Structure 1
């Protein structure tokens, strides 16, 4: 029975290799799904189990300079990916409707293949987002949505560019995603730059709104396929999966939005308020360690909170 299972796995592996587009077969991490699946499984295990345990009795690393460089690099990389998608068809020859897979070896087709692979590879670079969270002991940021999104996206894209490297209308969601990541990593870069840039981060909660808009745009664009009289897209399965992807992640991010900004579980610190007997609230000031200096009136005195301890009058730094 074990021999038969191994034989079936080998047959499936050989089938995948035969179906892999020859134009993308020699790119890194494209020889088989084993390599990328192993990396992503190691990522999940590190993020959820190994990493937090290694850091349990260690102080968090201060990685501000590294993170500024990383986030700026990701802004530039994703901007380049958007530009290449535009020049590979979306701003030149595509109709934005039923754009087919290009099976040729024309310069434009090969350019689309290169940027499709680069987008796929960028998802492995983005795994560093979680590594930084672990090293900085920001485990509350490593949610199910975060880990699932970072691992599921590159895994599915391997299958996508294996079958459709010059994906026509199937590449639209990648271009939109890269555009969103230009904005996202720009925000992260400002955030890592220190307290003097906090005043420019008032739009934090709109990041989730931008993500939601992304999935709406992707779903609307790909839904055209179901209403056209004729669209001979070569791999309809890819269309169906993109549509399901857009709807599924829209629901996941919508749930995050409800939890964060309607139920208030992850409201930005600068917007938190203390409600005092129905009267106007007083703002909470953010301090460098991520906690708050709260204020409320009590017997005519104003207690201040810092590092979880309370001192009357002036703030006593610990």
Structure 2
């Protein structure tokens, strides 16, 4: 089945009202965004940079990381102080349409979608700085799959704890982008002392995926009204994330330590 057909199947399987759908009535905009992203970072960008010197982009990197931290703090604050039962992740009550909770859900989901779109620029920065080696399969797959999930999950299930994975992810990103910000503005000798934080961030990311899979298992046992296809795709993506981050951790930290 083609990717477009899979997306449409997921959308049709959902009981989500198309007149109140987020962020659009079809998956076409997301597919177009991802197609442009892949074409740019894999073909157009490298071709454009082939005969040009690498850009530094330090100012952009600093501003970008500040905005990412602030955006994630905003989402965490919005989730915590809304009436959404996000942290009660083992329950799955439906959110009544047209209520204050429903508006909060849509606002957070919409904001999160465009925040994930903005994260695609990270790969373009790698390309423009001629760091194509960092445009790894893990990096590209993670960005594409995350955007797909943030787009599709609100369309498939508007339950009480549907934003729990986003809440976890925002907390991880506050730590991660804060580290990247420090790495961009602090002297090299201080950044060198902070390097062990990178290992901890990868560990935290794996814990995040484990907690998300725990939620999936609990919601399945409770019979929450989540489309089976979406549950399967979602679970497979999170498992793939966990494995790839574990493989990255093993190759970059565990094996390096054993060689020492």
TM-score for both structures, normalised by structure 1: 0.70
Cα distance, 1:156 vs. partner? 3.1
Structure label with greater radius of gyration: 1
- In 1, Cα distance between equivalents of 2:144 and 2:226: 27
- In 2, Cα distance between equivalents of 1:135 and 1:146: 16
Partner of 1:154: 147
- In 1, Cα distance between equivalents of 2:32 and 2:165: 25
Cα distance, 1:114 vs. partner? 0.8
Partner of 1:140: 133
The DSSP-based 3-state class of the residue aligned with 1:249 is: helix
Partner of 1:225: 219
Partner of 2:36: 42
The DSSP-based 3-state class of the residue aligned with 1:88 is: coil
Cα distance, 1:84 vs. partner? 1.6
Deviations 1:259-280 (A, max 9, x none): 211233xx8xxxxx9x7xxxxx
- In 1, Cα distance between equivalents of 2:196 and 2:120: 26
Cα distance, 1:97 vs. partner? 1.3
Matched, 1:23 2:20: yes
Q: Which has the bigger relative contact order, CA under 8 A and spacing at least 6?
A: 2
- In 2, Cα distance between equivalents of 1:94 and 1:105: 22
Deviations 1:44-83 (A, max 9, x none): 1211222122112211111112111110110000111112
Q: How many equivalent pairs are there?
A: 252
Deviations 1:137-183 (A, max 9, x none): 1111110000111112112332222233x332332111111111111
1:246-285 to 2 correspondence within 5 Å? 246-264=238-256
- In 2, Cα distance between equivalents of 1:94 and 1:215: 16
Q: Is the 8 A contact 1:187 1:201 kept in 2?
A: no
1:260 and 1:177, CA in 2 relative to 1: closer, same or farther beyond 3 A? Answer: same
Q: Is the 8 A contact 1:101 1:234 kept in 2?
A: no
1:138 and 1:234, CA in 2 relative to 1: closer, same or farther beyond 3 A? Answer: closer
Deviations 1:262-315 (A, max 9, x none): 233xx8xxxxx9x7xxxxxxxxxxxxxxxxxxxxxxxxxxxxxxxxxxxxxxxx
Partner of 1:61: 55
Q: Which runs of 5+ in 1 are unaligned?
A: 1-7, 268-272, 276-318
Q: Which runs of 5+ in 2 are unaligned?
A: none
- In 2, Cα distance between equivalents of 1:227 and 1:54: 51
RMSD over aligned Cα atoms:
3.0
- In 1, Cα distance between equivalents of 2:68 and 2:88: 29
- In 2, Cα distance between equivalents of 1:130 and 1:263: 26
1:159 and 1:130, CA in 2 relative to 1: closer, same or farther beyond 3 A? Answer: same
Partner of 1:111: 104
| More moved, 239-248 vs 213-222 | 239-248
Cα distance, 1:15 vs. partner? 5.7
Partner of 2:68: 74
TM-score for both structures, normalised by structure 2: 0.84
Partner of 1:131: 124
Q: Is the 8 A contact 1:176 1:214 kept in 2?
A: yes
